[in-house]
Chains A and B, each alone.
Chain A
Amino acid sequence: MSLHIVVCIKPVPDPDHYDRVTIAPDTKRIVREGIPTVINAVDKCALEKALQLRAQYGGKVTVITMSLPSADTNLREALAMGADEGILLTDRAFAGADTLATSYTLAKAISQLGDADLVMLGAESADGATGQVPSQLGEWLKMPHLWNVFSIEDVEEKKYRIKTKYENGYKEWEGTLPLVLGVSRELAKPRHIGAMGIIKAKNKPITVLGKNDICGIEDEYIGLSGSPTQAGEIRTPEMGRSGHKLEGTTEEIGIQILEKIRAGGITI
């Protein structure tokens, strides 16, 4: 048995630069210009598991992203981790996509590959955090899909026992390929990228596809026009600090501090 595993990755703003992230007041979107991106952390967990499954069964791992041309760097990083090839979906027509338009575009490109046994991605992204794309992708691809997967064990050929996480426990499923899995961080700890992986990644292929390169893609489902949801009010939290002098006896001041902590939503 050999598997073709497709891993969807999303470039998100580098957490080291979160203090520079702003929201555009008109579009309600994150202003990404000038902010370096990293691969969404939980997508790397999906990629790690995909690499482990490839090591176990053979086959290949394809990473795919829909993003700006600069996402080439993120794909190259995924290739350095060990993926075999990359696909970059980039086109002005894809701009402004919500989760539905994004999942549609990804699904069309994955369908075009023709032989995906398993599609894996993080359950949610570090920026948008909607958690919608894995399920939507499963629906577009007409594949069974599970969300918040933290364990995958093989049962027999192309059949897996899968555990999904809930607040107070987990559910166990048995699934036969093909499947779409939105995974949680617990699934696998991403390996460190080595210098040798970086060297090898130089010679691995990255295919760039625009709208016209994807068969059967329909304009009404992509980009802004294919996006039925629009962001509502988005506010940046006030991060400023100021000092307040507390007065009274030591005990009274202690009580005031506790009240302020509780008022901030922390239970003690």
Chain B
Amino acid sequence: MGAVFKFTEEQEMIRKAAREFAEAEIAPYAAEWDSKDICPVELWPMLGEVGATGTFVPEAYGGVGLGHVERAIFIEEISRYSAGLGIALMTHHLAIEAILRFGSEEQKNKYLPILCSGEKIGGLSVTEPGGGSDFAGQAASAEKIDSGWVLNGRKCFITNAGIADINVIICKTGEDEKGRGILSAFIVETGTEGLKPGRHENKLGLRGSITGDVILDNCKIGDDAIIGKDGDGAKIGMGAIGEVGRAGMTAICVGILRACCEDAVKFAKERIVAGKPISKYQAIQFEIADIRTDYEAAKALLYTAASIKDEGKPATTAFAVAKYFATEAAVRGAKRCMDAMGGYGIVNEYAVGRYLRDALASIPSGGTSHIQKLIIAGDTLKNF
């Protein structure tokens, strides 16, 4: 899967800067975002200033011109304090990825600078009530008319629903000779007639991001709104989710694991039982050792996969492995942290309950663990 990853001096500086940003602007408010289930959209311009919104976009389009390793650093550091904001940011990147990789020059020049600066928020709408992983079974339709397209249908479980300004939406434009759906991707700006937010899901975790329905009700858009050409929707949607989406979810869970590690260590050193800190007891040390091991392994998988992508090589399997491991490990890590904290672990004054809820909610986002295993098994049986 690639050589052992080592960060450059510049990447270490970016991590330090991202950490200081997260400590100042995210840590004090993360619990409130979670309890109120609000997404701090006002932070977007600041995320733009530090380079978190347009990390992997070339400078020519208003980005920083770095890669997916640096993007993962930003998401990890942000998710250390707010995994909810982490998934909102990572979804913003999905819209960017779709336009950057497949958009026309006009679309790139029009949308990427305002997405990179944080002036606008991006979103990607794929999943439908029939299931996110039944990609070809999407029913939302795009009908060709003289002046463009008319979109109809309902997307659900959409991150940044209602807050995204620039929505990349996958719709079915027809069927091939075998009856399979032909999918295309469209850019729909918020404010376009017929584009409406639907229900807002009350989630278990990853609160601090908005998840809900996107409704298309005779939504008319121009010919210039299609990304690539008619029929490119599957590769655009799957390309964005398969690598950038799963990379993002992995980075979120690496952030959660670090949070678990740091909080477990802090608690274990401060909590005195029978005259000594519980960090002196082997049972607690073993929990901490397991969290740390999972953190290091997840981190290695994440940054190795991201560096493969930055080399321009296919990284779908590497990200499936990383996502599968990191999301499940984050659940284990939060549970272990909770175990180490005893009764305090279930008190909401401590963040570990949120870590567990966020980790659980990370599993279905970008494909469940079962889906990741199908991808990994498929590649292993074919290529290993």
Contacts and interface: CB of A to CB of B under 8 A. Distances in A.
Contacts of B10: 198-199, 202
Interface stretch (A46-54, A59-67, A114-122, A189-197): A189-197
B46 A80 contact: no
A195 B50 contact: yes
Given A198-B17, A199-B64, A193 B50 contact: yes
Nearest to A19: B269
A197 to B, nearest CB: 8
Given A76-B13, A202-B10, A241-B272, A196 B64 contact: yes
A203 to B, nearest CB: 12
B14 interface: yes
Interface string B1-42: 000000000100110110011001100000000000000000
A91 interface: no
A192 B46 contact: yes
Interface string B49-86: 11110010000000011100010001000000000000
Given A76-B13, A80-B13, A199-B64, A194 B49 contact: yes
B20 A193 contact: yes
B17 A194 contact: yes
Contacts of A193: 13, 17, 20-21, 50
A139 interface: no
Nearest 8 interchain pairs by C-beta = A195-B51, A193-B17, A194-B50, A195-B64, A194-B51, A192-B21, A198-B13, A192-B50
A202 B9 CA distance: 10
Contacts of A80: 13, 17
Interface of B: 10, 13-14, 16-17, 20-21, 24-25, 46, 49-52, 55, 64-66, 70, 74, 272, 275
Contact of B24 (A192, A199, A241): A192
Contacts of B55: 195
25 contacts: A76-B13, A77-B16, A80-B13, A191-B49, A192-B21, A192-B24, A192-B25, A192-B49, A193-B13, A193-B20, A193-B21, A194-B17, A194-B50, A194-B51, A194-B64, A195-B51, A195-B66, A195-B74, A196-B51, A197-B17, A198-B14, A198-B17, A199-B65, A202-B10, A241-B272
B14 A195 contact: yes
Interface in A146-181: none
A179 to B, nearest CB: 30
Contacts of A196: 51, 64
B13 A77 contact: yes
A93 to B, nearest CB: 29
* Interface class of chain B by DSSP: helix
Given A192-B50, A195-B50, 8 more contacts: A76-B13, A192-B20, A195-B14, A195-B52, A195-B70, A198-B14, A199-B10, A199-B64
A241 B275 CA distance: 10
Interface string A65-77: 0000000000011
A204 to B, nearest CB: 13
Contacts of A191: 49
Contacts of A195: 14, 17, 50-52, 55, 64, 66, 70, 74
A197 B13 CA distance: 10
A74 to B, nearest CB: 11
A243 B273 CA distance: 11
Contacts of B25: 192
Contacts of A194: 17, 49-51, 64
Nearest to B46: A192
A199 B8 CA distance: 12
Contacts of B20: 192-193
Contact of A192 (B17, B65, B74, B275): B17
A69 to B, nearest CB: 15
A32 B110 CA distance: 51
B10 to A, nearest CB: 6
A43 to B, nearest CB: 15
B265 to A, nearest CB: 12
A190 to B, nearest CB: 9
The listed residue with most A CB atoms (<10 A of its CB), out of B10, B46, B55, is B10
A80 B13 CA distance: 9
A1 B125 CA distance: 53
B154 to A, nearest CB: 37
Nearest to B48: A194
Nearest to B13: A198
B17 to A, nearest CB: 4
A26 B51 CA distance: 47
Contacts of B64: 194-196, 199
Contacts of B21: 192-193
A139 to B, nearest CB: 35
Interface in A214-268: 241, 243
Nearest to A77: B13
Interface in A18-45: none
A76 B12 CA distance: 12
Contacts of A241: 272
Contacts of A192: 17, 20-21, 24-25, 46, 49-50
The listed residue with most B CB atoms (<10 A of its CB), out of A191, A197, A241, is A197
A206 to B, nearest CB: 14
A82 B242 CA distance: 37
Contacts of B46: 192
